[in-house]
Amino acid sequence: MRELLCSKIHKATVTEADLAYIGSVTIDSDLLERIDLWEGQKVLIVSNTSGARIETYVIRGEAGSGQICINGAAAHLIKKGDEVIIIGFKFSDKLIEPKCIYVDGNNKFLRYL
């Protein structure tokens, strides 16, 4: 088995960074549906703005909200307004076709990559 890319949101904009929350990333549920990420699934978040890389897990946000909220200690590294890539992986013994999307500045779906 190998860990492979299964999902990616490219060029999302962080809408909130909440130090008081106990960890994770909140993502608009419409985006989660498009790329088949589950609540609780581990993701890698890469900031195109600062270069920071963090691993955390997904919390389902309100549909249509465009919400990308970095929660907990990670908010020290990735701030509101930062541009990020959110990457999900899964284990497989076969090649898989990842679901990767590009979003606009309001985190609305533009197209599949």
And the tokens for 100?
A: 């990767």
pLDDT for residue 92: 97
21 is annotated as an active-site residue: no
Tell how far CA 24 is from the center of its chain: 10
pLDDT for residue 1: 95
Determine which one of 24, 50, 65, 112 is catalytic.
24
Summarised one tens digit per residue, pLDDT across range 13-54 is 999 999 999 889 999 999 999 999 999 999 999 999 999 999
Please tell me the class of the 2-112 domain. mainly beta
User: How many Å apart are CA 23 and CA 42, to the nearest integer?
Assistant: 12
The number of C-alpha atoms within 13 Å of 72 and in the hemisphere containing its C-beta is 11
Q: Under a CB-based contact definition with an 8 Å cutoff, are residues 9 and 103 in contact?
A: yes
User: How many Å apart are CA 45 and CA 99, to the nearest integer?
Assistant: 16
24 is annotated as an active-site residue: yes
Determine which one of 21, 29, 50, 57 is catalytic.
57
And the tokens for 96?
A: 């898989």
pLDDT for residue 23: 80
Summarised one tens digit per residue, pLDDT across range 74-106 is 999 999 999 999 999 999 999 999 999 999 999
